[in-house]
């Protein structure tokens, strides 16, 4: 049987080819009629899409309308008709600046993407930044519903925003419109920064400052590099903001000062805490007094590594700090620290300096505090060791010599001049609960409650006390 042959009509192919060519030419046609916008195909044919705007077309070598990357974004958000034929959509859009390159294009000499010559624009947007170094001479103030995304938080290959001078706050979270930022009626929403580097260039600037943005506002995968002020500052009325995740603070080769801080949390009286900090690394040269200043209530800080600070975390140095959780806090021991966790109180010291203000610290839970064992020759007790936990409220000092790992330390509330506390360390008084009689070494003043009445395990007595060298004794 002869083989069958497949025949295709030339007339059938031509319409398909014409449609393909039409679609290929559509973006170019759309660029001519409305530069910057992508083209889409809908029931009305090929139309301009306002949802995605290419900012690179307004800068050399593709265009000449914009002065630099900040000016291009500002003019787009402002709906400049010389940039966008139909203006900027009120519902927001994606502004893609990833195609912008070159030192001149990436040097912002005319303001920020939201402010020029004293004028501000407040429009929702998602802004995609290019890889490379963006030099700024003024801080960036992000309005409500702004999402700033870079190409990565690597200092050599990511999106790097570098301060050319002391710009104050490199990035601030708040709207530049009413209510005024210094006294907002309520927190703003929807401000986020991720996947970029903030390079302070060795100047006393702050990295990200959020005093005004609450829910749906967060920071993720951001490197805070060569910042000699505060890397991340949270407070004001920014309740419910976060989580703040995957943050790396490193002063690099810059000379840090005693007031350099990795993270500071200090809210107003109405501040009810954040959604937490998850994944934080703070590295310096040993000069700064404290890496994390926790001067607010209702926060959780998890998976933290600190090296080269006096205190890794100082709790309640400047304001009351209640109902906080510290989980998995460690020191790698390269440069070293003075105190891993410092609970400030009367006559305490912050790092190598004063901790002058006594503030109320209570209901603090610490789970997993780890430091390298104190390097002490032989078996002698070395003078002036570092502390895994230094508790000024109760006068307790868990040194790295004897407590390089503390599984749990819970400080409760004070009452009649005393306090409640539970810890897995046997070196400070605690109150424990079990079903068998207590045994082993204990710290004088510790209490033990037996929850059974069985005589076989000598637990018929309900309450026990540690008298020190004599061990446990039943008192009831």
Question: Which pLDDT score is estimated for 469?
Answer: 81
Is 118 within 8 Å of 77 (Cβ atoms)?
no
State pLDDT tens for residues 70-129.
999 999 999 999 898 889 999 999 999 999 999 999 999 999 999 999 899 999 999 999
Is 200 within 8 Å of 226 (Cβ atoms)?
yes
Is 396 within 8 Å of 443 (Cβ atoms)?
no
- State phi, psi for 282 to the nearest 5 degrees: -125, 120
Structure tokens of 401? 């010599």
Alpha-carbon span 359 to 348, nearest angstrom: 11
Beta bridge partners of 45: 42
Residue 400 three-state SS: coil
Residue whose tokens read 């069985």: 454
Alpha-carbon span 239 to 272, nearest angstrom: 5
Nearest CA among 55, 47, 51, 4 for reference residue 29: 47
Structure tokens of 301? 């800080």
Helical (H) or strand (E) element with 318: none
Question: Which pLDDT score is estimated for 232?
Answer: 98
In 239-250, which positions are buried (b, 16+ CB within 10 angstroms) versus exposed (e)? bbbbbbbbbbbb
Is 131 within 8 Å of 102 (Cβ atoms)?
no
Question: Which pLDDT score is estimated for 347?
Answer: 52
Beta bridge partners of 368: none
Residue whose tokens read 């210094």: 182
- DSSP 8-state symbol, 461: S
Which residues are CB-neighbours of 39 under 8 A, at least 6 positions away?
Answer: 26, 27, 29, 30, 46, 47, 48, 49
Mean pLDDT across the chain, nearest whole number? 85
Residue 26 three-state SS: helix
Structure tokens of 288? 């700064």
Nearest CA among 376, 361, 281 for reference residue 322: 361
Question: Which pLDDT score is estimated for 377?
Answer: 56
In 41-57, which positions are buried (b, 16+ CB within 10 angstroms) versus exposed (e)? eeeeeebbbbeebbbbb
Alpha-carbon span 88 to 65, nearest angstrom: 16
Residues in the chain with pLDDT < 70?
Answer: 1-49, 175-187, 346-359, 374-385, 415-417, 454-458, 476
Alpha-carbon span 234 to 148, nearest angstrom: 18
Nearest CA among 303, 302, 372, 368 for reference residue 335: 372
Structure tokens of 213? 């943005």
Nearest CA among 58, 127, 46, 131 for reference residue 92: 127
């Amino acid at each position: 049987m002869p083989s069958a042959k497949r025949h295709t009509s030339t007339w059938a192919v031509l319409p398909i080819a014409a449609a393909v060519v039409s679609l290929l030419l559509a973006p170019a046609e759309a660029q001519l009629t409305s530069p910057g916008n992508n083209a889409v195909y809908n029931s009305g044919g090929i139309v301009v899409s306002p949802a995605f705007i290419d900012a690179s077309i307004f800068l050399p070598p593709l265009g000449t309308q914009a002065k630099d990357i900040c000016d291009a974004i500002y003019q787009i958000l402002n709906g400049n008709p010389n940039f966008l034929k139909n203006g900027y959509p009120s519902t927001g859009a994606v502004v893609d600046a990833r195609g912008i390159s070159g030192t001149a294009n990436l040097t912002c000499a005319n303001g920020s993407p939201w402010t020029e010559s004293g004028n501000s624009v407040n429009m929702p947007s998602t802004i995609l930044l290019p890889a490379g170094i963006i030099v700024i001479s003024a801080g960036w103030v992000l309005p409500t519903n702004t999402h700033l995304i870079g190409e990565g938080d690597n200092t050599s290959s990511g999106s790097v925003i570098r301060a050319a001078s002391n710009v104050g706050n490199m990035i601030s979270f708040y709207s530049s419109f009413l209510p005024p930022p210094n006294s907002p009626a309520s927190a703003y929403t929807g401000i986020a920064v991720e996947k970029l580097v903030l390079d302070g260039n060795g100047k006393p600037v702050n990295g990200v400052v959020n005093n005004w943005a609450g829910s749906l506002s967060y920071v993720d995968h951001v490197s805070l590099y060569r910042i000699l002020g505060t890397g991340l500052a949270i407070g004001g009325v920014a309740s419910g903001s976060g989580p703040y995740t995957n943050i790396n603070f490193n002063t690099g080769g810059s000379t840090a000062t005693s007031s350099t801080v990795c993270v500071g949390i200090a809210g107003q009286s109405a501040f009810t805490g954040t959604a937490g900090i998850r994944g934080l690394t703070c590295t310096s040269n040993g000069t700064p007094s404290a890496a994390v200043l926790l001067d607010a209530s209702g926060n959780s800080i998890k998976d933290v590594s600190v090296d080269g600070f006096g205190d890794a975390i100082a709790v309640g140095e400047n304001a009351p700090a209640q109902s906080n959780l510290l989980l998995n806090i460690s020191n790698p021991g390269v440069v070293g620290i003075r105190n891993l966790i410092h609970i400030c109180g009367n006559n305490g010291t912050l790092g190598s300096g004063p901790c002058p203000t006594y503030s109320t610290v209570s209901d603090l839970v610490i789970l997993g505090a780890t430091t390298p064992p104190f390097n002490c020759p032989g078996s002698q007790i070395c003078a002036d060791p570092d502390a895994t936990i230094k508790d000024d409220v109760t006068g307790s000092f868990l040194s790295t010599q004897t407590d390089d790992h503390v599984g749990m330390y819970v400080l409760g509330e004070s009452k009649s001049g005393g306090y409640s506390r539970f810890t897995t360390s046997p070196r400070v008084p605690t109150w424990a609960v079990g079903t068998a009689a207590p045994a082993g070494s204990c710290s004088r003043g510790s209490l033990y409650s037996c929850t059974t009445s069985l005589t076989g395990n000598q637990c018929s007595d309900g309450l026990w006390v540690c008298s020190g060298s004599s061990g446990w004794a039943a008192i009831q």
